[in-house]
Chain A
Amino acid sequence: MDYKYPDERGHFGPYGGIFVAETLMGPLTELREAYEVFFKDPEFLAELDADLQHYVGRPSPLYFAERLTRHYGGAKIYLKREDLNHTGAHKINNTVGQILLAQRLGKRRVIAETGAGQHGVATATVAARMGLECVIYMGAEDIQRQAINVYRMKLLGAEVVTVESGSRTLKDALNEALRDWVTNVENTFYIIGTVAGPHPYPVLVRDLQAVIGRETREQILTAERRLPDALVACVGGGSNAMGLFYPFIGDPEVKMYGVEAAGEGIETCHHAASLCAGEVGVLHGQRSYLLEDEHGQVSETHSISAGLDYPGVGPEHAWLKDSGRADYVAVTDDEALEGFYSLTRNEGILPALESSHAIAYAGKLASKLGHTKIIVINLSGRGDKDVHTIAAREGIEV
C-alpha cells in the first residue's frame, strides 16, 4: 500500500497540521515523540493488545445480519459489533491506548471532551482502572440529552464539568478542554476522542482504532473468502469510520462510505454534515472541512445524535473525500430513526443513534447493490444511552 499519510508535520494533503496556541506546541511535541517511540515498542504494543483482549473484549464479532439483509432486500449486511466492547462503543479502543501513553509520560491527570458521553465514559473507565484523576468537559445541551452517561462518568469517579459557552455542545466542550490543557500542561494528558485536533491526534487515534478494520478484514475473509464491496460507518469527528476504513485504503475494490448527520435536512441549516456541506477552515488545531459562515465564524450544528453534532471532521476524511477514495453522504434524523427501528426489530440489537445513521444509509445502498454484494456496517455503539431521546420523540416519558 503506497498510502503514506500524514507527513511528518501531520498533513493529509492540505489538511491536518498543527494550529494551536504556542503553549501547547511543547506538549504536542512530547506526545508526538511518545507516539513515535511507543507505537514501535514491542512491550508497549503487547500491553495494549492484552488490554484490548482482556479488558475491552476484543476481537469484537463480525455478525451476519440475516434478517436485516432480508429487510432491506439486497446486499448481504454484516455488522462489526463495536457495541459489544466494554462500555458499549468503539471509543474505548482509543482510550485504553492513550491512557498507556499518559502513564508512560508520568501524567497523573487526564482530561477529555465528550459529546454523546461515550468517549467521556471510555476515558473515565480507563482512568479509574489506572487510578488517575479524570475531568470530563461536556456541553450543557449534551448533559441534558445524555443524562445516563453523565451519571456513569460520575460513578466512575470522574468530575464532569458543564460547559455553558457557545452552542453548549461538543465543539464548546473541546474549547474548554483545550483551555484546561493550556493551564495544566505540566501534569495533564489530554485524551482526544476522535481523529481530529492537532497532529499527532488524528494519526494516533486512527492507529488505535484501526484494530476495527484489521479484525474486519480477517473475519470477512474467513466468512466469505473475499473482501467486502462496501464499508459503511457514521462520521462525526470520524474515528469509528477511520478505524474501519484505514486497513482497506489500499484495496480499491472496497468502496468506503462515511455517513454524516443531515439533521433536519442538508438544505436547512440544522445539520452537522461538514464534508457534504462545509467549506475548508481551521478549528481545534487542524485544517479540514468545517461548517462556518461567510465571515469564518463556526456554525451551530444539529443532529438527533449528540455524537455527530460537531461542525468539523477529522482531516484524513477531508483528504479521502478530495482524493475520491471515500464517499461521504448524509442521512436525516428521521432516516436514522428508521435505521434504528430496522435493526432493533429485525435483529434484536439496539444501535446508538450515531450508528443508526450508518444503518440507514447501508439500507439504501444494499438495495442498490443487489444480492451478490457484501456490505460491512460499523456498529460503533449500543443505543441504551439514547432510549430517552427516542422515547421523548415518541412522546413517551420513561
Chain B
Amino acid sequence: MSRLSAMFARLRGEQRAALISYITAGDPQPTATVELMRLIVAAGADAVELGVPFSDPMADGPVIQRASERALAHGVSIGDVLKMVAEFREYRSDVPVILMGYLNPIEVMGYGNFAEHAADAGVDGIITVDMPPEEAGDLDAALTTRGIDSIYLLAPTTVPERVRMICDRASGFVYYVSLRGVTGAGHINVAEVEDHVRGIKTRCTLPVGVGFGIDNPQAAAEMARFADAVIVGSAVVRRIEQADGDMRQIHQSLSAFIASLRTAIDEHPQAVAATP
C-alpha cells in the first residue's frame, strides 16, 4: 500500500481528516527545508506538500510567488528538491511527501527520468498545476510505472462529467480548490465548498483534499468536517516570510500554528465516514 493510501486508511479509522502542510522547497534557504519538513510533521501535519520553485508561478498568489523567488535566488532546481526529499526520508520513512509545481521543470528533465529520480527520492505524489489530464498521458504513465500518484486539481468551475473523468485519471487523492483564485486568496464560502465536495464524493472514490485560502484553525476545522484532507499553504509560508530568516522564530511560529490547526481539526471528527 502506498504511503498516501496508508495514511488515509489510518485516518479514516480514526474519523479524522488529514492535515497537509505546504512549504516551498528552498525557502528561506535550501539548508532549512528538511528541518522544516520534520518540524511541521512533528507539530502535527500528516503529510508534507513541497513546492518546487518556478520562475512563473501563474496559479500562485503573492506569498508563494515571493517564496519561489527566494528559493530561486539560491538557485534551487527540481534536482535539488528531490535531494531534499531523499534526505527527509532518512528521518521519516512513513510520512507522505507530495510535490507541487509547474510542468516545465519536469518537461525539461524528461518524464521518465523525473519519475525514476522522484521514486528513488521517496516522493509519493505529484501535483502539476498547469498539466490537465488531457495532456498528461505520457507523464501519468511514467509516474504510474514508478508507483507515484498523479494528484489532480478540481475547481469550482469543473463540471460534473469532468469531475468524473479527472477522478478516473487521478490517484492518491483529488485536490479541490476551495476558491476561484490563486493560492492564498481570501473569501472562502464554506457552505459552497461543502456542496462541491459532497458532489465530488458522489462521483469519486478517491479521498478529497481541500485547499487554497485556508489560513486559520477555524476554517481548517470547518473543512475537516467534510473533507478527507485539509491543505494549508500560504498561511504557513507567510509565517516563514515574516520571520525574515530567523530560524528560531520560524520554529516557534510554525510549531504553534500547525499545532493549532491540528487541534482544531481533531476537535471536529468527521460527521460521516468520508470515503469507503
Question: Which chain A residues have a beta carbon within 8 Å of chain B's beta carbons?
Answer: 9, 17-27, 165-166, 171-172, 175, 178-179, 182-186, 279-285, 287, 290, 292, 294-298
Give the contacting residue for A296; candidates B106, B129, B159, B162; CB below 8 A. Answer: B106
Cross-chain contact A27 with B157 (CB below 8 angstroms): yes
Binding site for A on B (CB under 8 A): 54-59, 61-62, 65, 69, 72, 77-79, 102-109, 129-132, 134-135, 152-159, 162, 166, 177, 180-182, 185
Q: A22-B132, A282-B104, A295-B108 are in contact. Are A183 and B157 (CB under 8 A)?
A: no
20 examples of A-B residue contacts, CB within 8 angstroms: A18-B132, A19-B132, A20-B130, A21-B153, A23-B59, A24-B157, A25-B158, A165-B62, A165-B69, A183-B182, A184-B180, A279-B108, A282-B102, A282-B103, A284-B56, A294-B108, A296-B54, A296-B78, A297-B54, A297-B105
Known: A18-B135, A175-B56, A183-B182. A23 touches B104 (CB 8 A): no
- Contact (Cβ within 8 A) B154 A297: no
Taking a contact as CB atoms closer than 8 A, the residue among A18, A175, A281 that contacts B107 in the complex is A281
**Is there contact, CB below 8 Å, between A18 and B79?**
no
Decide if A23 touches B155 in the complex (CB within 8 Å): yes
Closest 9 CB pairs of A and B: A296-B108, A296-B105, A26-B157, A295-B77, A23-B155, A183-B181, A22-B153, A297-B55, A296-B104
> Given A182-B182, A297-B105: A25 and B78 within 8 A (CB)?
no
Q: A182-B182, A186-B180 are in contact. Are A9 and B157 (CB under 8 A)?
A: no
Q: Is the pair B130, A171 in contact by a Cβ cutoff of 8 Å? A: no
Q: How far is the CA of A54 from the CA of B158 in the complex (A)?
A: 41
Provide the residues of chain A in CB contact with B166, threshold 8 Å: 22
A184 to B57, CA, bound (A): 18
A21 touches B162 (CB 8 A): no
* Bound CA span A290–B61, Å: 24
Nearest chain B CB to A308's CB is how many angstroms away? Answer: 18
> Which of B54, B72, B79, B107 has the largest number of chain A CB atoms within 10 A?
B107
Q: Give A287 to B65 CA distance when docked, in angstroms.
A: 22
CA distance A298 to B57 in the complex (A): 11
Q: Contacts A182-B182, A292-B104, A295-B79 given: A21-B155 contact, CB under 8 Å?
A: yes
What B residues does A24 contact at CB under 8 A? 157
Shortest C-beta distance, A193 to chain B (Å), equals 17
A295-B134 contact, Cβ under 8 Å, with A23-B155, A182-B182: no
Contact A282 to B182, CB < 8 A, known contacts A26-B158, A166-B55, A178-B58: no
Distance (Å) between the CB of B186 and the closest chain A CB?
11
B103 contacts across to A, CB distance below 8 A: 19, 282
Instruction: For A9, list chain B residues within 8 Å (CB).
Output: 134
Name the residue in B55, B59, B102 with the highest tally of chain A Cβ atoms < 10 Å from its Cβ: B55
CA distance A280 to B108 in the complex (A): 8
Complex alpha-carbon distance, A283 and B58, angstroms? 9
Contact A23–B157 (Cβ < 8 Å): yes
Residues of A within 8 A of B104 (CB): 281-283, 290, 292, 296-298
Q: Which residues of B contact A178 (CB under 8 A)?
A: 58-59
Output the nearest chain B residue to A285 by Cβ-Cβ distance: B130
| Docked CA distance A283–B107 (Å) | 11
Q: Is there an interface contact between B105 and A182, defined as CB atoms closer than 8 Å?
A: no
Q: If the complex has contacts A18-B135, A296-B108, A298-B104, are A166 and B155 also in contact, measured as CB distance less than 8 A?
A: no
B109: nearest chain-A partner, CB-CB: A296
Bound CA–CA A23/B158 (angstroms)? 7
Distance in angstroms from B128 CB to nearest chain A CB is 9
The distance in angstroms between the C-alpha atoms of A64 and B130, with both chains bound, is 46
Instruction: Output the nearest chain B residue to A25 by Cβ-Cβ distance.
Output: B132
Q: How far is the CA of A219 from the CA of B32 in the complex (A)?
A: 65
Docked Cα-Cα span, A20 to B155, in Å, equals 12
Which of A19, A185, A280, A296 is B130 in contact with, Cβ under 8 Å? A19
**Across the interface, which residues of A come within 8 angstroms of B130, CB to CB?**
19-21, 282, 285
Q: Inside 8 A of A285's CB, which chain B residues have their CB?
A: 130
Contact B56 A183 (CB under 8 A): no
Cα-based distance from A287 to B139 in the complex (angstroms) = 14
Instruction: Note all chain A residues with C-beta closer than 8 A to B129.
Output: 21
Chain B residue contacts of A284, Cβ below 8 A? 56, 58
By CB atoms of chain A within 10 A, which of B103, B130, B180 has the most?
Answer: B130
CB pair B154–A183 under 8 Å, yes or no, is: no
The listed residue (A25, A283, A292, A298) touching B157 by CB distance below 8 A is A25
Contact in complex: B61, A171 (CB < 8 Å):
no
Contact A292 B132 (CB under 8 A): no
Cα distance A296–B129 in the bound complex, in angstroms = 15
The minimal Cβ–Cβ distance linking A26 to chain B, given in whole angstroms, is 4
Give every chain A residue within 8 A of B56 (Cβ-Cβ). Answer: 166, 171-172, 175, 283-284, 298
On chain A, the residues within 8 Å of B57 by CB distance are: 175
- Contacts A17-B135, A22-B158, A297-B54 known; list 11 others, CB within 8 Å: A21-B155, A23-B153, A23-B155, A25-B155, A27-B157, A172-B56, A281-B104, A284-B58, A295-B105, A296-B108, A298-B56
| Cα distance, A26 to B59, chains bound together (Å) | 15
